[in-house]
């Protein structure tokens, strides 16, 4: 494939969500990581994209920055680059909790996204509101994918519906995998009330709840509470947590996995 063809495909991948990961580009372009990085560097020099940790982002226009469809919190393109090594380890460990053929819900987020590459071959039924996650799972032939209805929020590339609006397919999951903006003794928090409403609907549609958070999420405790810690069955986090946090989790949650 010529460079011009690869550049065209890269720009097409960015046109929908505004972000594309290196992993997605490697799968779709059938090119080496070094070749893809050279393509991205060339496009960035031309002012057509912006490289970020984990992939590339479309150049923002003035319309993008003032869009009313924006959620409070860190955009996906920025969040995915934060504490990446810890998130990758957490995602891998969480994926190992999935049993072959199981029905699961994977909520949108930069940590839950890291589960995707480790789910191949499990023949799962996956409901996700994240277009990043859906796109990452599409190449897995044995994975059945479902999405809810709602509005697409471009910064997070996530599908959400207002509180009180029924947007979920008739689907019940053995496990729900979610993230959080912050965690404290009071529960898990999100920065935006629309995210809170969405996660509460997901809680109702699952038997077991698995929380994926890196250790930085225990440093703050602001936002709206999604649920108390007692609602969490498994916490997957990294070794950056201190003894006090670990004791708190072990007291209120069913199981704590530290990677």
**What pLDDT shows up at residue 154?**
74
Reported as a single tens digit per residue, the pLDDT across 190-208 is 887 778 888 888 898 899 9
Provide the pLDDT for residue 69: 54
Indicate whether 76 pLDDT > 60. Answer: yes
Pick 175 or 66 by higher pLDDT. 175
Percent of the chain predicted with pLDDT > 90 = 46
Set out the domains of the chain in order of their start, with CATH numbers: 3-59 (1.10.10.10), 78-258 (3.40.50.1360)
Question: The pTM is what?
Answer: 0.70
Report the pLDDT value the prediction gives residue 175, as an integer from 0 to 100: 96
pLDDT tens by residue, 2-16: 888 888 888 888 776
Number of H helices, E strands in the chain: 9, 15
* Alpha carbon distance 187, 239 (integer Å): 20
What is the structure's pLDDT at 60? 58
Task: Report the alpha-carbon distance of residue 228 to residue 26 in Å, rounded.
Answer: 40
What letters, b where the CB count within 10 A reaches 16 and e where it falls short, cover 76-112?
Answer: bbbbbeebbebbbbbbebbbebbeeeebbbbbbbbbb
DSSP 193: H
Instruction: Give the confidence band of 221 by pLDDT, cuts at 50, 70, 90.
Output: low
Mean per-residue pLDDT, 97-112: 95
pLDDT band (50, 70, 90) for residue 72: low
Mean pLDDT highest for which of 5-14, 183-192, 213-222?
A: 183-192
The confidence score (pLDDT) of residue 66 equals: 37
Q: What pLDDT is stored for residue 16 in this prediction?
A: 62
For residues 37 and 79, the model is more confident at 37
The answer to whether residue 28 scores a pLDDT higher than 50 is: yes
Average pLDDT, the chain: 85
Which one-letter DSSP state was computed for residue 130?
A: B
Q: What is the pLDDT of residue 68?
A: 47
Q: Which tens digits make up the pLDDT trace of 228-258?
A: 999 999 999 999 999 999 999 999 998 999 9
Taking each helix axis from N to C end, the angle separating 3-17 and 33-45, rounded to the nearest 10 degrees, works out to 70
């Amino acid at each position: 494939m010529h460079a011009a063809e690869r550049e065209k495909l890269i720009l097409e991948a960015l046109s929908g969500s505004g972000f594309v990961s290196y992993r997605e580009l490697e799968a779709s372009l059938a090119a080496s990581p070094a070749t893809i990085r050279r393509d991205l560097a060339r496009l960035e020099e031309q002012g057509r994209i912006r490289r970020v940790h984990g992939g590339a982002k479309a150049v923002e226009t003035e319309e993008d920055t003032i869009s009313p469809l924006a959620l409070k919190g860190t955009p996906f393109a920025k969040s995915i680059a934060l504490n990446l090594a810890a998130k990758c380890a957490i995602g891998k460990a969480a994926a190992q909790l999935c049993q072959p053929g199981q029905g699961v819900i994977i909520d949108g987020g930069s940590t839950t996204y890291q589960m995707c590459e480790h789910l191949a071959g499990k023949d799962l039924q996956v409901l996700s509101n994240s277009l990043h996650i859906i796109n990452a799972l599409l190449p897995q032939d044995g994975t059945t994918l479902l999405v809810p209805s709602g509005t697409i929020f471009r910064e997070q590339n996530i599908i959400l519906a207002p509180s009180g609006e029924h947007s979920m397919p008739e689907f019940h999951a053995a496990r729900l995998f979610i993230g959080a903006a912050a965690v404290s003794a009071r529960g898990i928090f999100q920065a935006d009330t629309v995210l809170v409403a969405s996660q509460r609907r997901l809680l109702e549609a699952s038997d077991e709840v698995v929380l994926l958070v890196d250790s930085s999420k225990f440093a703050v405790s602001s936002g709206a509470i999604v649920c108390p810690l007692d609602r969490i069955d498994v916490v997957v986090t990294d070794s950056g947590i201190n003894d006090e946090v670990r004791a708190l989790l072990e007291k209120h949650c069913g199981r704590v996995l530290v990677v």
